[in-house]
Structure 1
Amino acid sequence: MSAPSSPEIDRPDLPAESDGFIRGLSQAIGGPLGEHAVRPDARRDRFWTAPRIILALLCLTLALSWVQKSPCQDGDWQKNVQYTRFCYTDVLALYYAEGLNEGKVPYRDHPVEYPVVTGYFMGALGLPVHALGQKYPEINQGKWFYNANALVLSALAVASLAMILALRRRRPWDAAIFALSPIVLVTATVNWDFLAIALAVFGLYAWARRWPLVAGLLLGLGGAAKLWPLFILGPLFVLGLRAKRMPQFWTATAAAVVAWLVVNVPVAVLYRDSWSRFLELNRERPIDWGTSWYVGRYVDSKWNTGVAGDQGPFQWLSDHIPVLNNISYALTALACLGIAALALLAPRRPRLAQLAFLVVAVFLIFSKVWSQQYVLWLLPLIVLARPRWGAILAWSVAEIGYFTAFYAELLGAGGKPVIPEGTFVLASSLRLITVGILCGLVIREIWRPELDVVRRTYRDDPDGGVLDEAPDAGWVDGLRRRLRVAPRPATAEVVSEAPPPTPVG
């Protein structure tokens, strides 16, 4: 009798069998594939494999996203067309606001409100478009700039999905959550976030391949595009501590610091005021639409809690931004300490993607700024952390609800209100609640690893690299005993593991 085959060699996970939500939907077309059904052989040469289908679906989503933004591409934003058509994009607006249409070099000729890698990216596409416009005055520079950015950002989105597929070879259909997401449809080219997302996902892939130096370089560059990829170093520290893999963590961290310094120092030295514009803007920015602080301020205005005279606490904080900044940082730090404690006390070492999602999510929950495109940061992380369709679809619906309410709020800011303020606050609250629910579900699966569907397919952590299947440091069990954290039953851990691979040769 032959040995049981490895899940990687046999067949990939099928959502209609493993995911309750998809299994329920499949009843409309006859239910999941039966036990004796003839299945296509994945080893035969055939073009439309699962990864290719999923990549094609993302290309379709990105094409529809381009169509959705097409009413704004000419830059003729009369009668608030950018809001009535839901097609506003920073990419086009900032081509003019940052002086790229005049040939201004980012940071040298004009302070840029973004970290340097994003500024470099803007200049690398914007300055050639300006030069082309000088040679051919009849072209619409803004439209060319937007389309050039849309093409490159779409390519980065496809590359990010390819990396997710590479990280989940046994579970390719998890990546369909990303490919078909309405979040990608409406926000893919609102800003340059896919630049940082691609660098972060490539960094996770490099770590999974046990290339800590390359992973650190990519995460450092990602942090120089948008800050959040650097947050992934926090989970790496805690997991490395638990698994006695600190040398690899320090290699990745040193590489991230070097990469960040290499791209930042020249601009900081030569154009310090322009370089520091990003930091100053974040210190000075007031409470942004849709944040937890915005919701709290609305509640203050309705209930008038009586703190500081006629002001409630959230209204008072909105008038004292430095205090708000400190409270926001403190709450984020406390939440991260809680995540670290969870990682050290959990019955099994959590997966890297689970902790990365939690850290980025709590940063957004407690931040005073949550721009509409920031939701893209969470999408690849939740796909890797908890690829369950039902909860992610509920969150996506809440995000689309917020997206439409936000544009109505923008229309109302310039004149007659379009929707009641309470409706916008409700949409904002639902978004926050659904993100909080996702955090709760991820935490539950960390504490009860037998519920983690990824661990039903993989033995431990497919993203873990040197952490994958590494034993815990000896002090971990001692710490759990001292804190009287009861271990999970041994059977729960065994159930969650896939069969061992069949020896080859």
Structure 2
Amino acid sequence: MSTGTPAPPPASPQPPTPLPPTHLPPTPLPPTAADPVLRGASEVVGGPAGRRLAGPGPWWARPLPVLLALTSVLVALGALTKHHCRARGWSTPDQFTHACYSDLPVVYTSSGLAEGLGPYADGTSLGQPPVTAALAWLVGLLAPDGTGADAQRGYFDAAAVVVLVAALVTVAAVAVAAGARRRWDALLLALSPLLVLTALVSFDLVGVALATAGLAAWARRRPVAAGLLLGLAVAARTYPLLLLLAIALVALRAGRRRAALTTLAVAVAAWVAVSAPVALAAPGAWSAHLRDWFGRPAGYGSPWLLPQLVERAGGDADATGLPPGAVTALTLCTWFAWVLLVALLVLWAPRRPRLPQVAFLLVAGVCLLGPAFPVQASLWLAPLAVLAVPRWREHLLWWAAEAASFGAVWLFIAGQSTPERALPPQFYALFLLLRLAAVAWLVVVVVRDVRSPWRDPVRGEGLDDPAGGDVDGRPDALVVRVA
């Protein structure tokens, strides 16, 4: 007969407890204290910021005024780089050899807007989502009549003001999403050469501003406002769909489905409210930007363009590379695989990834594997890269690759009309690969930080996810373990 004591009854499962709150001062961390590259560079001007600069300081030295002032300077520098085209008109090949090409005046005079047509009228060939098309038409109302140099110049000037406002909104939204402690991280965007090189190439920055403002609203726990802004962003550029997917994934892991569903529902409603009237009135014109995507050949910046460049380098001037159908199939298959991998990473990582990390991985994969990766598409990545990888070293490497690729693509395009001034295809292929490698390196850094959270500069400050909104500081509700 056993004389041991009976085993105690099994304990009832305990509900998950939130992560311990952090008690960091709300004062923004000086940039020289947050990043080793800036800390070393600051020795030139006396060393890192000390206790005298630890306080709030005068209003004009606080993060937001400084960030907005620097952003304005860089966008103005970008306008100066377009001076040759602005003075003489956007004509081929000058607009490429002087690297001052811009879709803004070129599309205005070639799409029918300059002739007084509406954004979706018969004879208009904008091929843009509704918000972008409407904005292009409204700006055209401020330009002189006609299709000459004066009309182009007037349109460009009016569009530059819109782009400047979009840049200011984007930088302010990044500062909000970064949180009070790391407000100065937005310097990585305010000082980014991408604002100089690509901000005035198109209206893409308007969609980026709406999308980033949506993330900032989510970070401030405003799911309805986040959904409204992200829905409008999808109606301006398609890529913000991936930001909604990122919100859904992190909310799924944290078990905070209600806020995510609210944001998704409002985003769908906002998109429908903007798109439905246009789709019903002019279905063909509204869907043009979607139809054109399918069956398109490989475009500039895409890895699927490399076979054509290799053929051209071998002496085949009429090389076509991969068939358009193959490009579409490869793009869709690799995108599907990439989204699955990112979703698995979100649910499998030892600690829930931060929302900007997930969003950056999704958008970077779409850019790297898409049928085209134009220079202005890097603006989609810029705010997300700041929030996901707040390290100056990685951004400096990326900026260098972007600048080199920016010059290379215009010289390569110029060669189609002036072969004697062309960049050989093998050199353009080299710069294309350099740019893809730089973005891929950012992806590697993000994945490394997700797998080893102590490497993440934000998590290293004791923060959880300043941009996470309703999931910030929440415990995991769903974790997938892969053997």
Q: Scaled by the length of structure 2, what TM-score is found?
A: 0.89
Q: Which residue of 2 aligns with 1:68?
A: 81
Amino acid at match of 1:145: Y
Q: Is the 8 A contact 1:64 1:185 kept in 2?
A: yes
CA distance in 1, matches of 2:149, 2:381: 37
Of the candidates 50, 54, 77, which is equivalent to residue 67 of structure 2? Answer: 54
CA distance in 2, matches of 1:64, 1:128: 23
Of the candidates 14, 25, 49, which is equivalent to residue 8 of structure 1? Answer: 25
- The change in CA–CA distance for 1:41 and 1:30 in structure 2 (over 3 A counts) is closer
Of the candidates 161, 172, 175, which is equivalent to residue 165 of structure 1? Answer: 175
Mapping of residues 315-464 of structure 1, within 5 Å: 318-319=322-323, 321-417=324-420, 418-457=422-461, 459-464=463-468
- The change in CA–CA distance for 1:89 and 1:315 in structure 2 (over 3 A counts) is closer
CA distance in 2, matches of 1:396, 1:217: 32
Q: Which residue of 1 aligns with 2:115?
A: 102
Mapping of residues 8-47 of structure 1, within 5 Å: 8-9=25-26, 11-33=27-49, 37-40=50-53, 42-47=55-60
Of the candidates 129, 140, 143, which is equivalent to residue 143 of structure 2? Answer: 129
User: SS of the counterpart of 1:129?
Assistant: coil
- The change in CA–CA distance for 1:280 and 1:83 in structure 2 (over 3 A counts) is same
CA distance in 2, matches of 1:138, 1:92: 10
- The change in CA–CA distance for 1:41 and 1:470 in structure 2 (over 3 A counts) is closer
Is 1:119 the counterpart of 2:133? The answer is yes
CA distance in 1, matches of 2:158, 2:120: 21
Q: Is the 8 A contact 2:107 2:126 kept in 1?
A: no
- The change in CA–CA distance for 1:392 and 1:243 in structure 2 (over 3 A counts) is same
Query: For residues 219-261 of structure 1, what are the alpha-carbon distances to aligned partners after superposition, in whole Å with 9 as ceiling and x for unaligned?
Result: 1110111100111111112111111111222111111111111
Identity within the alignment, %:
35
CA distance in 1, matches of 2:148, 2:106: 20
- Aligned-pair distance for 1:139? 9.5
Point out the more displaced range, 119-128 or 328-337: 119-128
Q: Is the 8 A contact 1:106 1:112 kept in 2?
A: yes
Query: For residues 50-69 of structure 1, what are the alpha-carbon distances to aligned partners after superposition, in whole Å with 9 as ceiling and x for unaligned?
Result: 32222211111111111111
Point out the more displaced range, 73-82 or 423-432: 73-82
- Aligned-pair distance for 1:148? 0.8
Point out the more displaced range, 229-238 or 197-206: 229-238
Q: Is the 8 A contact 1:174 1:387 kept in 2?
A: yes
Amino acid at match of 1:174: D
- The change in CA–CA distance for 1:351 and 1:273 in structure 2 (over 3 A counts) is same
- Aligned-pair distance for 1:297? 3.7
- Aligned-pair distance for 1:39? 1.2
Point out the more displaced range, 228-237 or 388-397: 228-237
Q: Which residue of 2 aligns with 1:489?
A: none
Mapping of residues 255-266 of structure 1, within 5 Å: 255-266=266-277
Q: Which residue of 1 aligns with 2:150?
A: 140
Point out the more displaced range, 37-46 or 452-461: 37-46
- The change in CA–CA distance for 1:326 and 1:15 in structure 2 (over 3 A counts) is same
Point out the more displaced range, 273-282 or 443-452: 273-282
Amino acid at match of 1:471: P
Q: Which residue of 2 aligns with 1:233?
A: 244
Q: Is the 8 A contact 1:91 1:190 kept in 2?
A: yes
Amino acid at match of 2:363: V
- Aligned-pair distance for 1:349? 0.5
CA distance in 1, matches of 2:432, 2:273: 39
Q: Is the 8 A contact 1:372 1:403 kept in 2?
A: yes
- Aligned-pair distance for 1:346? 0.8
- Aligned-pair distance for 1:6? 4.4
Q: Which residue of 1 aligns with 2:4?
A: none
User: SS of the counterpart of 2:293?
Assistant: helix
CA distance in 2, matches of 1:462, 1:355: 14
CA distance in 2, matches of 1:40, 1:84: 46
Q: CA RMSD in A?
A: 2.4
Point out the more displaced range, 368-377 or 139-148: 139-148
- The change in CA–CA distance for 1:94 and 1:42 in structure 2 (over 3 A counts) is same
Amino acid at match of 1:436: A
**Unaligned ranges ≥5, structure 2:** 1-21
User: SS of the counterpart of 1:47?
Assistant: helix
- The change in CA–CA distance for 1:18 and 1:139 in structure 2 (over 3 A counts) is closer
Is 1:151 the counterpart of 2:161? The answer is yes
Query: For residues 12-50 of structure 1, what are the alpha-carbon distances to aligned partners after superposition, in whole Å with 9 as ceiling and x for unaligned?
Result: 2233233222223234445434xxx55135335443223
- Aligned-pair distance for 1:90? 0.2
Point out the more displaced range, 398-407 or 237-246: 237-246
Q: Is the 8 A contact 2:89 2:152 kept in 1?
A: no
Point out the more displaced range, 190-199 or 236-245: 236-245
Q: Is the 8 A contact 1:357 1:382 kept in 2?
A: yes
- The change in CA–CA distance for 1:245 and 1:41 in structure 2 (over 3 A counts) is closer
Q: Is the 8 A contact 2:193 2:399 kept in 1?
A: yes
Mapping of residues 274-289 of structure 1, within 5 Å: 274-289=285-300
**Unaligned ranges ≥5, structure 1:** 305-309, 485-505
CA distance in 2, matches of 1:139, 1:82: 13
Q: Is the 8 A contact 2:295 2:328 kept in 1?
A: no
- The change in CA–CA distance for 1:30 and 1:220 in structure 2 (over 3 A counts) is same
- Aligned-pair distance for 1:437? 0.5
- Aligned-pair distance for 1:300? 6.1
- The change in CA–CA distance for 1:29 and 1:252 in structure 2 (over 3 A counts) is same
Q: Is the 8 A contact 1:105 1:127 kept in 2?
A: no
Q: Which residue of 1 aligns with 2:14?
A: none
CA distance in 2, matches of 1:129, 1:426: 40
Amino acid at match of 1:444: R
CA distance in 1, matches of 2:111, 2:139: 13
Q: Which residue of 2 aligns with 1:273?
A: 284
